[in-house]
A and B are shown apart, each in its own frame.
Chain A
Amino acid sequence: MTRFRKPSSSTLKILECLRAAPNGLHGYALMKASGLASGTLYPILARLADRGWLEKAWETGEDISGPPRRIYTLTSLGLAQMESLETAGTLNARTAT
């Protein structure tokens, strides 16, 4: 049987930042916005993507230079999960700390 665990405050910070940016954010911008270190941020992003809470896509556009870059966007499942966390009162309580 799998147990439900409340997401950590770092995870909630990431989700909040992604919700505030509907067009998505790349890793460095997300790191700046959340205040998390890259070593904390990226493993969480991978787990969230694995669970379908966020989507990662390669950056596209004509004015892009350099190697490819990931853009992270919250999925509808992620949004729904955030809403359920808000209803449960987890989100505000944990991101405030």
Chain B
Amino acid sequence: MSAMLDKFLVWAERHLPESERIWISDLRSEARHISGNLSRQRFLWSGALAALGQILRVRFGVQRVGQSLLGVALLMACLGGIYIAPSIENEVVRVSFYSVLPIYALTAGLALVNLNLMKRFAIGCIAALGLFWIISGLDYFTALDAPVYFFRAFAVEVAFIMTGLYVAASYLGWAEEAGDSQSL
């Protein structure tokens, strides 16, 4: 394993610009002094992940890497949701749960393709959910024999998640502009 990680670091060294790869050879030479296979592997793993992060940042940029991670995380959440949903016994909760999964899936797709579109979609969802929250609070609906309070609470929850995603997407844009790599 150590030899494989070392090979990866050599490969990373070749694919990074001079200013970004200067630390890799020092790390590799230090690793040869570490006794204990596990300690050496941990040392090399951390270095390999850092090198991979640098390669991705240099090749694709902070925003592109971040939005891919965001999209993948959301897709994973959707897959988890598909797995969990059938085990929900209450039909209202199950249907609500299923109905929101395509929204997350679409958000994930947009995050992978275009972050600005994703932000607009998130704003649209938040607005629609807010409108739903207001309308469902009207006397006509509260008098109905339906779990209106649950729907309203569910709408608030989804709106919070979409707000979090909007903030994350905005941060990625700022991080790209700030150029974090030059900070200490």
Give the chain A neighbours of B53 by CB distance below 8 A: 39
Known pairs A5-B183, A45-B23, A48-B184; A69 contacts B29 (CB<8 A): yes
Question: Does chain A have a CB within 8 A of B58?
Answer: no
A88 nearest CB across to chain B (Å): 14
Known pairs A38-B47, A42-B23, A45-B23; A70 contacts B30 (CB<8 A): yes
Q: Mark B15-55, 1 if CB is under 8 A from A, else 0.
A: 00001001110110110111000000001101111110110
Contacting B at CB under 8 A, from A1-53, are 5, 7-8, 11, 26-28, 31, 37-40, 42-48, 50-51
Which among B24, B29, B48 is the interface contact of A67 at CB below 8 angstroms? B29
Main DSSP-derived SS at the A contact region: helix
CB atoms of A70 and B29 under 8 A apart: yes
Interface residues on B, range: 20 to 34
A67 to B24, CA, bound (A): 15
Q: Which of B19, B26, B48 is most buried by chain A, counting CB atoms within 10 A of its CB?
A: B26
Known pairs A27-B27, A37-B46, A39-B46; A47 contacts B184 (CB<8 A): yes
Contacting A at CB under 8 A, from B75-107, are none
A45 to B27, CA, bound (A): 11
A5 to B184, CA, bound (A): 7
28 contacts between A and B (CB under 8 A): A5-B183, A8-B184, A11-B184, A26-B30, A27-B26, A28-B30, A28-B34, A28-B43, A31-B43, A37-B46, A38-B44, A38-B46, A38-B47, A38-B50, A39-B50, A40-B46, A42-B27, A42-B50, A45-B23, A45-B26, A56-B26, A67-B29, A67-B33, A69-B29, A69-B30, A69-B33, A70-B26, A70-B29
